[in-house]
Structure 1
Amino acid sequence: AAQELDTMYFCNTCGQPLCAPCREETHRAKMFARHEIVSLSKRTKDIHKKCPLHEEPYIMFSTEKKSMLCINCFRDMQGESRAHCIDIETAYMQGCQRLDQAVMAVKELQTSTREAIVLLKAMIEEVRNSASEEEAAINSLFGRMQEQLSERKKALLKAVQSQHEEKEKAFKEQLAHLASLLPTLQVHLVTCSAFLSSANKAEFLDLGYQLMERLQRIVKLPHRLRPAQTSKINSEYRAEFARCLEPLLMLSPRRSVVGSAGGIGPGIAGTNMLPGGQCSKTLMVPSCPPASDKMSAGPIVRKPTMHRYISTKVLLAEGRDTPFAEHCRNYENTYRMLQTEIQGLKDQVQELHRDLTKHHSLIKTEIMGEILQKSLQMDVQIAAHYSAVEMMRSVFEEVWEETYQRVANEQEIYE
């Protein structure tokens, strides 16, 4: 192709390209003698040297219009546009520099693209490895969670069964006692009815007061008419399952709402106050021990009373004006008031018991009536206080859950 291009010509007068045979045949006549015929290769190199509009050689370059100018083009330009014109050599040097910069930028982009391709291929492999590791970790953690939950489930069911047996035994013993009391009461009622129907006035005055004293002694005996404990079996299974999963999920230890307000050790313990003032035992199950000492850990039970008392004192000493702190203040005040009144009733009962057993003195009915009346009032106050505390439980549970979720989100963001 280069050889054919060398044998090609171009007639500047005709404006037509010519091959060697055409040049000999068509431009042989004298009328073509003055035609300017040049080599096509030379013509392609010099094609841009002249302005096609004025047929004058280019001498300037306009950086504003990005075009070459001949002398006539330069003269036709306005004065402001002439300031953007430079000579051909300077324009060529500047153009080469800019082209070199563009080429270097493309080469840098090419290098960066190749590096990015290598990086992405490596990241694809890392994603596969990470997915495999994550799947293995999920399966491992899920297996350990199932194992821990299964063990805790067995412990909870065992504790529920233990509570069931204990409460049922206590209720049956009390039921047997009350069942044996009914025939005795029935005998005395029948005796009293027979005595009233058969005794005359003299016999009544002679034996009636003895019968009345006997009936009063029967009534004043300490009969357990009220259940000694509640029928509710509380295993705290939600808190226990959550506490069991804390070491595996690396969560911050959460205090259970009931029964573990002050638990520090691996076990939980607590009591629920009944409206009558009695206490019922709640579940006491150990937390999940670490794998190293799981075999040696036993069902340790610790009463949280002292720790709860100290924690409450510290909370109130901080002086923060929060809803929970206000609740603790009200609870402490009510607790002290009830404790003082109960202690007063206890002292009165002990004094009466001392008079009855040691001094063999009679107890006035008015005093016993006052004590019974105060006891009933205390029963009502304790029931009302218990209801108020239980009502606040749901409120604080929502607040604690929101706070815990917020802290967990902050920890996750921080990690």
Structure 2
Amino acid sequence: MYFCNTCGQPLCAPCREETHRARMFARHEIVSLSKRTKDIHKKCPLHEEPYIMFSTEKKSMLCINCFRDMQGESRAHCIDIETAYMQGCQRLDQAVMAVKELQTSTREAIVLLKAMIEEVRNSASEEEAAINSLFSRMQEQLSERKKTLLKAVQSQHEEKEKAFKEQLAHLASLLPTLQIHLVTCSAFLSSANKAEFLDLGYQLMERLQRIVKLPHRLRPAQTSKINSEYRAEFARCLEPLLMLSPRRSVVGSAGGIGPGITGTNMLPGGQCSKTLMVPSCPPSSDKMSTGPMVKKPTMHRYISTKVLLAEGRETPFAEHCRNYENTYRMLQTEIQGLKDQVQELHRDLTKHHSLIKSEIMSEILQKSLQMDVQIAAHYSAVEMMRSVFEEVWEETYQRVANEQEIYEAQLHDLLQLRQENSCLSTITKQIAPYVRSIAKVKERLEPRLQEPQEPREEQTQMLLKICDNNEVVPRDASPGSNKGASPSPRVKDTPGDPSPTNKDCCRGQQKSGAETATPKEPAP
């Protein structure tokens, strides 16, 4: 389509060729209709004047009369239409890039979740096949244990698949929404003129920013591995039948506090960690000396506890397990939250070089100390129950053998939580100096981030004293450097006109501060 500015009417392609072919129309100004619609500026409905300015404060266009009616402070926030259009395009591009990154992450998460669902199914089928294969050789003796194991695997399968499907449904519903907004942005950029862009663009940008800032679950909340520890369960079931040697705990060299205590794992404050002996194996104190962690799988403790509670026996240990699971889940959730927070701060510091407030680091350290106290208190409470349970274990050892294993795994889990919390505190303490150094460099580079002037004046006085002391050095110490220089009384420098010596000192300090502000990657 075309438009004849001389005639003041639109033209299609045939009309342009037929009606404007004569010589009398040769001087008519014919332009593209899309170009003309973009070049036409809206007029102010209040003054009937064309828009010439844009207020970044009110996000609205202004004519000459609107600009004159504004106050002096508000005029400082007014820019011309072209500049406002360029700035708006840049901000919209940034918002679109953020949405595209979120779209890419969402697609990757969907692919990952689909693969993990398939892995869950494969893992469940493999586990069931292995369980059935072993059960077929001892059908009469292991019929009850087979049902329990299959229920545990099926329960894990259903829980994991349900969690993954819920997360997949959430992400699948999010992807069309992101696509619609991207198409809307593309259509808006291609069809809107400057006035329409400035009128509606900021609303679109705010909507895109709100979508990006919404919490999206892009990472799987759990692994796809299903593990029922079927071999250990079958071996435990066959112990009375095959007359295997009973599992015994060996008192370690650290002291006679209780069975299974070794000197390799000690908690601060004199508390000891426990190691569980493997059936028919020598003491593992030599193996445990290579690492501070007790190698006891948490998943096996979870399955054993679930089997124990499913039996429905009202025993003191069953009641203890119910209370323990509630407290442990709460502690584990809080530790995971602190780990995610430190991971985000570490990435912002090393990758994005962002300015992190010292208050955030102090808050994390405070929470870590509180978690350490809570874990230590819970560990002590569980430890105090040992003597009570050992009296019962001496009477009915075979029935309580599984309970002992769960109990030792519980202590291990608390030790693992405490060690993770200790690593968390160490990493936070390593990051803290670099955060303070970066904050000081930022304050030197950006005046608006500087501290109040009173401490600065004290630092200036200290620098002047240091410079005075440097000038009193004898001439023989630096030959040729101060020849012909005569001592003169020193006049106190004013804050607005610093002396060259003061400037050199300040530059030296700024240079040293910049060198020390380069953070190193904290050791994992």
TM-score (norm 1): 0.32
- Three-state SS of the structure 1 residue aligned to 2:227 is coil
402-411 or 224-233, which moves further after superposition? 224-233
Partners of 1:91 and 1:28 lie apart in 2 by: 42
338-347 or 200-209, which moves further after superposition? 200-209
Partners of 2:219 and 2:48 lie apart in 1 by: 126
1:223 equivalent to 2:183? Answer: no
Partners of 1:268 and 1:357 lie apart in 2 by: 41
Structure 1: unaligned runs, 5 residues or longer: 1-7
Q: Give how far 1:256 is off.
A: 13
Cα pair distance change 1:280/1:97, threshold 3 Å: closer
Equivalent positions of 1:34-113 (< 5 A) are: 41=34, 44-113=37-106
Q: Give how far 1:126 is off.
A: 0.8
Cα pair distance change 1:379/1:235, threshold 3 Å: farther
Q: Give how far 1:229 is off.
A: 59
- Three-state SS of the structure 2 residue aligned to 1:279 is strand
Cα pair distance change 1:82/1:402, threshold 3 Å: farther
Does structure 2 conserve the Cα–Cα contact (< 8 Å) formed by 1:149 and 1:241?
A: yes
Partners of 1:203 and 1:54 lie apart in 2 by: 19
Partners of 2:184 and 2:34 lie apart in 1 by: 149
357-366 or 69-78, which moves further after superposition? 357-366
Cα pair distance change 1:360/1:149, threshold 3 Å: same
Cα pair distance change 1:96/1:181, threshold 3 Å: closer
238-247 or 349-358, which moves further after superposition? 349-358
Q: Give how far 1:245 is off.
A: 3.1
Q: Give how far 1:78 is off.
A: 3.2
Partners of 1:193 and 1:84 lie apart in 2 by: 29
Partners of 1:211 and 1:103 lie apart in 2 by: 10
Give a deviation string over 1:193-228, Cα, whole Å, max 9, x none: 999999999999999999999999999999999999
Does structure 1 conserve the Cα–Cα contact (< 8 Å) formed by 2:245 and 2:280?
A: no
Does structure 2 conserve the Cα–Cα contact (< 8 Å) formed by 1:62 and 1:84?
A: yes
Cα pair distance change 1:48/1:254, threshold 3 Å: same
Partners of 1:298 and 1:243 lie apart in 2 by: 28
Partners of 1:12 and 1:276 lie apart in 2 by: 90
Q: Give how far 1:97 is off.
A: 0.9
231-240 or 58-67, which moves further after superposition? 231-240
Give a deviation string over 1:359-409, Cα, whole Å, max 9, x none: 999999999999999999999999999999999999877743999999989
93-102 or 56-65, which moves further after superposition? 56-65
398-407 or 215-224, which moves further after superposition? 215-224
- Three-state SS of the structure 2 residue aligned to 1:223 is coil
Partners of 1:210 and 1:70 lie apart in 2 by: 21
What residue number does 1:325 align with? 318
Does structure 2 conserve the Cα–Cα contact (< 8 Å) formed by 1:235 and 1:282?
A: no
342-351 or 10-19, which moves further after superposition? 342-351
Give a deviation string over 1:289-336, Cα, whole Å, max 9, x none: 999999999999999999999999999999999999999999999999
Does structure 1 conserve the Cα–Cα contact (< 8 Å) formed by 2:229 and 2:300?
A: no
Give a deviation string over 1:124-148, Cα, whole Å, max 9, x none: 2111101101211322343455466
Partners of 1:307 and 1:52 lie apart in 2 by: 74
Higher-RCO chain (CA-CA 8 Å, sequence separation at least 6): 2
66-75 or 173-182, which moves further after superposition? 173-182
Structure 2: unaligned runs, 5 residues or longer: 408-524
Q: Give how far 1:72 is off.
A: 1.1
- Three-state SS of the structure 2 residue aligned to 1:351 is helix
Does structure 2 conserve the Cα–Cα contact (< 8 Å) formed by 1:60 and 1:87?
A: yes
Partners of 1:120 and 1:250 lie apart in 2 by: 46
147-156 or 215-224, which moves further after superposition? 215-224
108-117 or 75-84, which moves further after superposition? 75-84
Does structure 2 conserve the Cα–Cα contact (< 8 Å) formed by 1:156 and 1:285?
A: no
Cα pair distance change 1:254/1:224, threshold 3 Å: farther
- Three-state SS of the structure 2 residue aligned to 1:269 is strand
Q: Give how far 1:104 is off.
A: 1.1
Does structure 2 conserve the Cα–Cα contact (< 8 Å) formed by 1:51 and 1:58?
A: yes
Partners of 1:22 and 1:199 lie apart in 2 by: 27
Cα pair distance change 1:206/1:150, threshold 3 Å: same
- Three-state SS of the structure 1 residue aligned to 2:54 is strand
Does structure 1 conserve the Cα–Cα contact (< 8 Å) formed by 2:49 and 2:63?
A: yes
Cα pair distance change 1:45/1:66, threshold 3 Å: same
Equivalent positions of 1:158-169 (< 5 A) are: none
Does structure 1 conserve the Cα–Cα contact (< 8 Å) formed by 2:109 and 2:218?
A: no
Give a deviation string over 1:241-284, Cα, whole Å, max 9, x none: 99653599999945799999999999999999999999999999
Does structure 1 conserve the Cα–Cα contact (< 8 Å) formed by 2:153 and 2:226?
A: yes
Q: Give how far 1:95 is off.
A: 0.9
Q: Give how far 1:149 is off.
A: 5.8
Does structure 2 conserve the Cα–Cα contact (< 8 Å) formed by 1:267 and 1:301?
A: no
What residue number does 1:125 align with? 118
Does structure 1 conserve the Cα–Cα contact (< 8 Å) formed by 2:145 and 2:237?
A: yes
Does structure 2 conserve the Cα–Cα contact (< 8 Å) formed by 1:268 and 1:301?
A: no
Does structure 1 conserve the Cα–Cα contact (< 8 Å) formed by 2:5 and 2:30?
A: yes
350-359 or 48-57, which moves further after superposition? 350-359
78-87 or 394-403, which moves further after superposition? 394-403
- Three-state SS of the structure 2 residue aligned to 1:225 is coil
